[in-house]
Amino acid sequence: MVMKNLYKTAEHPFAQYVRILGKGKTSSRSLTLEEARDAMAMIVAGEVEPVQLGAFLMLLRVKEESPDELAGFVMAARAGLQAARDDALAQAGQNAIQVDLDWSSYAGKRKHYPWFLLAVKILAAQGIRVFMHGASGHTINRLYTEAVLPSLDLPVCQQWTEVNSALAATHFAYLSLDTVCPPLGEIIQLRNVLGLRSPVHTLSRLLNPVDAPYVMQAIFHPAYRESHQHAAERLGYRNSCVIKGEGGEIERNPDGLCLAKQIVDGVLTEEEWPALFPLRHAAEEAFDLEHFLAVWRGKAEHEYGEMAVIGTLALALRVLQRADSQEQALALASRYWQDRHLTHA
């Protein structure tokens, strides 16, 4: 099928951004923050041809996004989603959404259970208001957060107007990227069409849709830690943390070192957390959610999983400035895990 070319006599306004990225080894360059912002504004407004979008996404994928590009993309996406969010809340007569912690979940799990969800559940039980956003189904053979949350009695919201009531009831709310920013929700589903992840998988983790004062992120490729840290700084996030999480989710792998690239009160820093086990554990052969839930209920044990929860919880407590040291954070996290059924969880 041949596409009809409507731009035979004049260049499409978006073509300049494809050209900047694709002019070759010696002439191409990264986009400036302003160029990235303007390009993403056109994308979320639906002003880009499909062939341009595919070329743009894959050129960025090959090059890898710079901190300025990531920040610019997020700025444009946030401008659109904030307007839609505020309009929905205003029409419903609701106040602005207030949370403590932004938690993104876009990877899905393949080798290990989503132990990080138990850490989140404990944080919520301790009164920390967590807003989680994510996407499902974009990569085959993965267990996604949205499918597991109901079994943990954690609410999956369908629209902005459900978030405040969910937070009031449970200190937790999840909203899909399809609702947070519908254009990005559509693009992230192109993973199986393009054969590769796109920059949307990366930038979505930085969205912080409800302006939480503390932001946690995870990436799969270690090289992205620093670019996410610097992008967060450009976005004005004063307290942020990014790790190479297990499977790309915000979850410490207790079998290995964990380097946390952080912003603490506006200052860029990093902290290395040691491995919690001397030897690596085998991946799960298959997922059995009943076993996962049995561990939560104290009816079953899981050496790796329990330490993944405690380690992830300790990291979050440090980010939230609820602990002054790793040792204090681990001790507090261990106590929260042991006492999880003494609180309303």
Coil, strand or helix: which one is 132?
strand
How many Å is the Cα radius of gyration of the chain? Answer: 21
CATH of domain 15-87: 1.20.970.10
- For residue 95, give both structure tokens: 């106040």
pLDDT tens by residue, 197-221: 888 989 999 999 999 999 999 998 8
Amino acid making up residue 301: E
pLDDT tens by residue, 156-211: 999 999 999 999 999 999 999 999 999 999 999 888 788 878 889 899 999 999 99
For 22-26, 29-33, 146-150, 310-314, which range has the lowest pLDDT when averaged over its residues? Answer: 22-26
Whether the Cβ atoms of residue 188 and residue 179 lie closer than 8 Å to each other: no
Dist CA 170 CA 102 (whole Å): 15
Q: Does the pLDDT of residue 265 top 60, yes or no?
A: yes
What are the φ and ψ backbone dihedral angles of 172, each rounded to 5 degrees?
Answer: -145, 145
Cα within 13 Å of Cα(189), Cβ side: 12
Q: Does the pLDDT of residue 345 top 50, yes or no?
A: no
Average confidence (pLDDT) over 121-136? 97
Q: What is the mean pLDDT of the chain?
A: 94
Residue 4: per-residue pLDDT: 61
Residue 152: per-residue pLDDT: 98
Domain 98-338 CATH class label: alpha beta
Residue 1: per-residue pLDDT: 47
User: 156: part of which helix (H) or strand (E)?
Assistant: strand 156-157
Give percent of the chain with pLDDT exceeding 70: 96
Whether the Cβ atoms of residue 337 and residue 122 lie closer than 8 Å to each other: yes
Average confidence (pLDDT) over 239-250? 96
Dist CA 305 CA 251 (whole Å): 10
The reply to whether domains 15-87 and 98-338 share a CATH topology is no
Q: 316: which residues sit within 8 A by CB, 6+ positions away? A: 101, 119, 123, 216
Domain ranges of the chain: 15-87, 98-338
pTM score of the predicted model = 0.94
pLDDT tens by residue, 37-58: 999 999 999 999 999 999 999 9
Angstrom distances, CA of residue 147 to CA of 137, 138, 194, 200, 309? 10, 13, 25, 21, 19
3-state helix, strand, coil in the chain (%, to 5): 50, 15, 40
Q: Does the pLDDT of residue 288 top 60, yes or no?
A: yes
| Entry field: residues in the chain | 345
Dist CA 206 CA 104 (whole Å): 8
Whether the Cβ atoms of residue 89 and residue 162 lie closer than 8 Å to each other: no
Average confidence (pLDDT) over 144-155? 97
pLDDT tens by residue, 8-25: 778 999 999 999 999 988
Q: Does the pLDDT of residue 36 top 90, yes or no?
A: yes
